[in-house]
Protein backbone atom coordinates (compact mmCIF):
# COMPACT_ATOMS: atom_id res chain seq x y z
CA UNK A 1 0.00 0.00 0.00
CA UNK A 2 1.19 3.52 -0.75
CA UNK A 3 0.78 6.50 1.51
CA UNK A 4 -0.08 9.87 0.06
CA UNK A 5 2.69 12.41 0.40
CA UNK A 6 1.50 15.54 -1.42
CA UNK A 7 4.08 16.61 -3.97
CA UNK A 8 5.32 20.17 -4.35
CA UNK A 9 5.05 22.25 -7.51
CA UNK A 10 8.61 21.45 -8.64
CA UNK A 11 7.91 17.72 -8.67
CA UNK A 12 4.51 18.03 -10.29
CA UNK A 13 6.13 19.81 -13.22
CA UNK A 14 7.75 16.53 -14.24
CA UNK A 15 4.39 14.96 -14.96
CA UNK A 16 2.40 14.90 -18.18
CA UNK A 17 -1.02 16.37 -17.46
CA UNK A 18 -1.73 19.40 -15.34
CA UNK A 19 -4.95 18.08 -13.90
CA UNK A 20 -3.71 14.51 -13.77
CA UNK A 21 -0.87 15.74 -11.62
CA UNK A 22 -3.10 17.60 -9.25
CA UNK A 23 -6.03 15.22 -9.10
CA UNK A 24 -4.15 11.92 -9.06
CA UNK A 25 -0.45 12.10 -8.29
CA UNK A 26 -0.60 14.68 -5.52
CA UNK A 27 -3.07 12.40 -3.78
CA UNK A 28 -1.11 9.20 -4.38
CA UNK A 29 2.46 9.31 -3.13
CA UNK A 30 5.24 6.89 -2.25
CA UNK A 31 5.84 5.03 0.98
CA UNK A 32 4.27 5.16 4.42
CA UNK A 33 5.50 4.89 7.97
CA UNK A 34 5.29 1.64 9.90
CA UNK A 35 2.82 3.17 12.34
CA UNK A 36 0.55 4.37 9.56
CA UNK A 37 0.85 1.03 7.78
CA UNK A 38 -0.22 -0.83 10.93
CA UNK A 39 -3.18 1.49 11.36
CA UNK A 40 -4.15 1.12 7.73
CA UNK A 41 -3.83 -2.65 7.92
CA UNK A 42 -6.04 -2.69 10.98
CA UNK A 43 -8.61 -0.58 9.17
CA UNK A 44 -8.46 -2.90 6.18
CA UNK A 45 -8.96 -5.88 8.47
CA UNK A 46 -12.02 -4.22 10.00
CA UNK A 47 -13.27 -3.36 6.53
CA UNK A 48 -12.93 -6.99 5.50
CA UNK A 49 -14.93 -8.11 8.52
CA UNK A 50 -17.58 -5.50 7.85
CA UNK A 51 -17.72 -6.44 4.18
CA UNK A 52 -18.26 -10.10 5.01
CA UNK A 53 -21.01 -9.24 7.46
CA UNK A 54 -22.80 -6.67 5.34
CA UNK A 55 -24.75 -7.58 2.22
CA UNK A 56 -24.14 -4.14 0.72
CA UNK A 57 -20.34 -4.45 1.04
CA UNK A 58 -19.32 -7.92 0.00
CA UNK A 59 -15.83 -9.30 -0.51
CA UNK A 60 -15.18 -10.25 -4.11
CA UNK A 61 -12.14 -11.09 -6.16
CA UNK A 62 -11.53 -7.34 -6.25
CA UNK A 63 -11.09 -7.23 -2.47
CA UNK A 64 -13.03 -5.91 0.53
CA UNK A 65 -15.09 -2.76 0.68
CA UNK A 66 -16.55 -0.70 3.48
CA UNK A 67 -20.03 0.63 3.94
CA UNK A 68 -19.90 4.33 3.06
CA UNK A 69 -21.70 6.60 5.51
CA UNK A 70 -23.38 9.84 4.38
CA UNK A 71 -21.16 12.87 4.99
CA UNK A 72 -18.11 10.71 5.62
CA UNK A 73 -14.58 11.18 4.18
CA UNK A 74 -15.14 8.01 2.13
CA UNK A 75 -18.29 9.49 0.62
CA UNK A 76 -16.31 12.61 -0.36
CA UNK A 77 -13.68 10.49 -2.11
CA UNK A 78 -16.35 8.44 -3.85
CA UNK A 79 -18.19 11.58 -5.00
CA UNK A 80 -14.95 13.16 -6.19
CA UNK A 81 -14.06 10.32 -8.55
CA UNK A 82 -17.65 9.83 -9.68
CA UNK A 83 -17.86 13.48 -10.69
CA UNK A 84 -14.56 13.27 -12.53
CA UNK A 85 -15.77 10.21 -14.41
CA UNK A 86 -19.00 12.01 -15.27
CA UNK A 87 -16.97 15.04 -16.45
CA UNK A 88 -18.51 17.26 -13.79
CA UNK A 89 -15.12 18.83 -13.31
CA UNK A 90 -16.04 21.97 -11.41
CA UNK A 91 -18.05 19.99 -8.86
CA UNK A 92 -15.20 17.49 -8.46
CA UNK A 93 -12.52 20.11 -7.89
CA UNK A 94 -14.75 21.89 -5.37
CA UNK A 95 -14.26 18.84 -3.15
CA UNK A 96 -10.50 19.49 -2.94
CA UNK A 97 -8.22 22.22 -1.64
CA UNK A 98 -7.79 23.28 -5.28
CA UNK A 99 -11.18 24.98 -4.93
CA UNK A 100 -9.84 28.60 -4.92
CA UNK A 101 -8.20 27.95 -8.30
CA UNK A 102 -11.45 26.88 -9.94
CA UNK A 103 -13.91 29.32 -8.35
CA UNK A 104 -12.89 32.28 -10.50
CA UNK A 105 -12.88 30.39 -13.80
CA UNK A 106 -15.84 30.91 -16.11
CA UNK A 107 -17.27 27.92 -17.96
CA UNK A 108 -15.52 29.08 -21.14
CA UNK A 109 -12.20 29.37 -19.32
CA UNK A 110 -12.65 25.94 -17.81
CA UNK A 111 -13.25 24.51 -21.28
CA UNK A 112 -9.77 25.69 -22.25
CA UNK A 113 -8.47 22.83 -20.11
CA UNK A 114 -10.71 20.28 -21.84
CA UNK A 115 -7.83 18.15 -23.15
CA UNK A 116 -6.26 17.82 -19.70
CA UNK A 117 -9.57 17.25 -17.97
CA UNK A 118 -10.73 14.58 -20.39
CA UNK A 119 -7.44 12.73 -19.94
CA UNK A 120 -8.12 12.64 -16.21
CA UNK A 121 -11.72 11.49 -16.65
CA UNK A 122 -10.60 8.60 -18.85
CA UNK A 123 -8.04 7.54 -16.26
CA UNK A 124 -10.57 7.19 -13.43
CA UNK A 125 -11.35 3.50 -12.84
CA UNK A 126 -14.90 2.44 -13.67
CA UNK A 127 -15.31 1.30 -10.07
CA UNK A 128 -13.23 3.01 -7.40
CA UNK A 129 -12.96 0.44 -4.61
CA UNK A 130 -12.84 2.03 -1.14
CA UNK A 131 -11.86 -0.33 1.65
CA UNK A 132 -10.67 1.80 4.56
CA UNK A 133 -11.42 4.99 6.45
CA UNK A 134 -9.58 6.44 9.47
CA UNK A 135 -10.87 9.60 11.18
CA UNK A 136 -8.91 11.56 13.77
CA UNK A 137 -10.59 14.82 14.72
CA UNK A 138 -10.67 17.05 11.65
CA UNK A 139 -8.25 14.83 9.71
CA UNK A 140 -8.99 11.63 7.85
CA UNK A 141 -7.42 9.04 5.57
CA UNK A 142 -9.36 6.99 3.06
CA UNK A 143 -7.90 3.87 1.45
CA UNK A 144 -8.94 3.22 -2.15
CA UNK A 145 -7.76 1.34 -5.24
CA UNK A 146 -6.43 3.95 -7.66
CA UNK A 147 -3.65 4.20 -10.23
CA UNK A 148 -0.56 5.89 -8.82
CA UNK A 149 -0.03 7.34 -12.27
CA UNK A 150 -2.27 7.54 -15.31
CA UNK A 151 -2.18 4.33 -17.31
CA UNK A 152 -1.07 2.12 -14.44
CA UNK A 153 -3.12 -0.60 -12.78
CA UNK A 154 -4.98 0.48 -9.61
CA UNK A 155 -3.15 -0.05 -6.32
CA UNK A 156 -4.23 0.61 -2.76
CA UNK A 157 -3.64 4.31 -2.08
CA UNK A 158 -4.28 6.46 0.96
CA UNK A 159 -6.03 9.78 0.36
CA UNK A 160 -5.82 12.49 2.98
CA UNK A 161 -8.68 14.79 3.87
CA UNK A 162 -9.46 17.54 6.35
CA UNK A 163 -12.71 18.96 7.64
CA UNK A 164 -13.45 22.54 6.60
CA UNK A 165 -16.64 24.27 7.76
CA UNK A 166 -18.21 20.91 8.55
CA UNK A 167 -17.37 19.29 5.21
CA UNK A 168 -14.55 16.94 4.23
CA UNK A 169 -12.03 18.24 1.71
CA UNK A 170 -9.47 16.18 -0.22
CA UNK A 171 -5.90 17.45 0.14
CA UNK A 172 -4.83 17.43 -3.50
CA UNK A 173 -2.06 20.01 -2.98
CA UNK A 174 0.62 20.46 -0.33
CA UNK A 175 0.95 23.56 1.86
CA UNK A 176 3.32 25.37 -0.52
CA UNK A 177 1.10 24.74 -3.53
CA UNK A 178 -2.00 25.64 -1.54
CA UNK A 179 -0.46 29.00 -0.60
CA UNK A 180 0.33 29.60 -4.27
CA UNK A 181 -3.25 28.75 -5.23
CA UNK A 182 -4.66 31.22 -2.70
CA UNK A 183 -2.34 33.91 -4.03
CA UNK A 184 -2.84 33.30 -7.75
CA UNK A 185 -6.47 32.21 -7.74
CA UNK A 186 -7.73 31.21 -11.18
CA UNK A 187 -4.34 32.10 -12.72
CA UNK A 188 -2.80 29.14 -10.91
CA UNK A 189 -3.94 26.58 -13.49
CA UNK A 190 -2.79 28.77 -16.36
CA UNK A 191 0.66 29.27 -14.85
CA UNK A 192 1.01 25.62 -13.91
CA UNK A 193 0.01 24.55 -17.40
CA UNK A 194 2.73 26.80 -18.83
CA UNK A 195 5.31 25.33 -16.43
CA UNK A 196 4.30 21.77 -17.25
CA UNK A 197 4.25 22.26 -21.01
CA UNK A 198 7.58 24.05 -21.02
CA UNK A 199 9.06 21.09 -19.18
CA UNK A 200 7.45 18.73 -21.66
CA UNK A 201 8.81 20.71 -24.62
CA UNK A 202 12.35 20.51 -23.26
CA UNK A 203 11.95 16.79 -22.60
CA UNK A 204 10.56 16.21 -26.10
CA UNK A 205 13.63 17.78 -27.70
CA UNK A 206 15.88 15.75 -25.41
CA UNK A 207 14.04 12.67 -26.66
CA UNK A 208 14.60 13.80 -30.25
CA UNK A 209 18.31 14.10 -29.51
CA UNK A 210 18.47 10.51 -28.23
CA UNK A 211 16.39 9.29 -31.17
CA UNK A 212 18.64 10.99 -33.71
CA UNK A 213 21.73 9.58 -32.04
CA UNK A 214 20.30 6.06 -32.14
CA UNK A 215 19.26 6.47 -35.79
CA UNK A 216 22.62 7.89 -36.89
CA UNK A 217 24.54 5.04 -35.27
CA UNK A 218 22.57 2.59 -37.38
CA UNK A 219 22.61 4.64 -40.59
CA UNK A 220 26.21 5.71 -41.16
CA UNK A 221 25.87 9.06 -39.44
CA UNK A 222 22.72 10.16 -41.26
CA UNK A 223 19.90 11.81 -39.32
CA UNK A 224 16.17 11.25 -39.85
CA UNK A 225 13.05 13.26 -40.63
CA UNK A 226 10.62 13.46 -37.73
CA UNK A 227 8.13 11.15 -39.49
CA UNK A 228 10.77 8.43 -39.62
CA UNK A 229 11.48 8.84 -35.92
CA UNK A 230 7.75 8.48 -35.22
CA UNK A 231 7.52 5.43 -37.48
CA UNK A 232 10.36 3.76 -35.59
CA UNK A 233 8.70 4.54 -32.26
CA UNK A 234 11.56 6.76 -31.15
CA UNK A 235 9.32 9.78 -30.50
CA UNK A 236 5.54 10.00 -29.82
CA UNK A 237 3.21 11.03 -32.62
CA UNK A 238 1.84 13.99 -30.66
CA UNK A 239 5.01 15.81 -31.71
CA UNK A 240 3.04 16.47 -34.91
CA UNK A 241 0.37 18.59 -33.22
CA UNK A 242 0.25 21.38 -30.68
CA UNK A 243 -3.26 20.44 -29.53
CA UNK A 244 -2.12 18.27 -26.63
CA UNK A 245 1.40 19.63 -26.21
CA UNK A 246 0.91 23.39 -26.53
CA UNK A 247 4.10 23.56 -28.62
CA UNK A 248 4.97 23.53 -32.32
CA UNK A 249 7.92 21.23 -33.07
CA UNK A 250 10.25 21.29 -36.08
CA UNK A 251 13.10 18.93 -36.97
CA UNK A 252 15.16 20.34 -39.84
CA UNK A 253 17.79 18.27 -41.68
CA UNK A 254 20.86 20.10 -42.99
CA UNK A 255 23.57 19.12 -45.45
CA UNK A 256 21.63 16.21 -46.82
CA UNK A 257 20.88 14.80 -43.38
CA UNK A 258 24.45 14.96 -42.07
CA UNK A 259 23.32 17.33 -39.34
CA UNK A 260 20.08 18.86 -38.06
CA UNK A 261 18.45 21.15 -35.56
CA UNK A 262 15.08 21.00 -33.79
CA UNK A 263 12.91 23.68 -32.26
CA UNK A 264 9.93 23.86 -29.91
CA UNK A 265 7.93 27.08 -29.99
CA UNK A 266 4.80 27.98 -27.97
CA UNK A 267 1.65 27.52 -30.04
CA UNK A 268 0.12 30.42 -28.11
CA UNK A 269 2.71 32.64 -26.48
CA UNK A 270 2.11 33.30 -22.76
CA UNK A 271 -0.81 30.88 -22.85
CA UNK A 272 0.64 27.48 -23.75
CA UNK A 273 4.21 28.51 -22.97
CA UNK A 274 6.68 31.40 -22.80
CA UNK A 275 10.05 29.79 -23.48
CA UNK A 276 11.18 28.73 -26.94
CA UNK A 277 13.64 25.81 -27.15
CA UNK A 278 16.43 24.83 -29.53
CA UNK A 279 18.28 21.54 -29.96
CA UNK A 280 21.52 21.45 -31.93
CA UNK A 281 23.84 18.43 -32.11
CA UNK A 282 27.34 18.96 -30.77
CA UNK A 283 30.46 17.25 -32.08
CA UNK A 284 32.20 17.96 -28.79
CA UNK A 285 29.74 16.11 -26.58
CA UNK A 286 26.08 15.34 -25.90
CA UNK A 287 23.48 17.50 -27.63
CA UNK A 288 21.96 20.12 -25.36
CA UNK A 289 18.62 21.85 -25.33
CA UNK A 290 18.63 25.57 -24.64
CA UNK A 291 15.57 27.64 -23.89
CA UNK A 292 14.58 31.23 -23.24
CA UNK A 293 11.71 33.63 -23.63
CA UNK A 294 11.87 34.77 -27.25
CA UNK A 295 8.44 36.44 -27.40
CA UNK A 296 6.90 33.36 -28.97
CA UNK A 297 9.37 33.13 -31.87
CA UNK A 298 11.59 30.12 -32.73
CA UNK A 299 15.19 30.30 -31.54
CA UNK A 300 16.29 29.29 -35.03
CA UNK A 301 14.53 29.51 -38.38
Closest CA to 96 of 4, 166, 161, 185: 161
pLDDT of residue 51: 33
| Section 114-135 average pLDDT | 85
What confidence category does residue 150 fall into, taking pLDDT thresholds of 50, 70 and 90? low
DSSP string computed for 90-124: HHHHTTBTTHHHHHT--HHHHHTTHHHHHHHHHHS
What confidence category does residue 119 fall into, taking pLDDT thresholds of 50, 70 and 90? confident
Query: CB of 157 within 8 A of CB of 145?
Result: yes
pLDDT of residue 7: 36
pLDDT of residue 9: 33
287 φ/ψ angles, rounded to the nearest 5 degrees: -65, 145
- Separation CA 126–CA 124 (nearest Å): 6
Query: CB of 61 within 8 A of CB of 145?
Result: no
- Give residue-wise pLDDT tens across range 246-260: 999 999 999 999 999
What confidence category does residue 71 fall into, taking pLDDT thresholds of 50, 70 and 90? very high
Query: CB of 173 within 8 A of CB of 6?
Result: yes
294 φ/ψ angles, rounded to the nearest 5 degrees: -120, 35
Query: CB of 168 within 8 A of CB of 147?
Result: no
Please give the residue that has the higher pLDDT: either 86 or 50: 86
| Section 113-121 average pLDDT | 80
Q: Which residues contact 10 (CB under 8 A, 6 or more apart)?
A: none
Alpha-carbon distances, residue 96 vs 37, 61, 224, 256, 267 (angstroms):
24, 31, 46, 54, 31
Whole-model pTM? 0.67
Whether 219 shows a pLDDT value over 90: the answer reads yes
Whether 41 shows a pLDDT value over 80: the answer reads no
pLDDT of residue 11: 35
Amino acid sequence: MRMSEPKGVAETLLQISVFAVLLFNTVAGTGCSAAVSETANAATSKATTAANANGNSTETSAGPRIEIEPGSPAETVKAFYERLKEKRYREAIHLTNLKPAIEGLTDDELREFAVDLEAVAKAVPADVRINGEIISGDSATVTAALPEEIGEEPEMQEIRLRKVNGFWQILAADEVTEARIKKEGKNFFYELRIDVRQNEAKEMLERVAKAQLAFSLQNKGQFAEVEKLIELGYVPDDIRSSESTGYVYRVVLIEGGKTYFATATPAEYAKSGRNSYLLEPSAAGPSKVIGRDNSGKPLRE
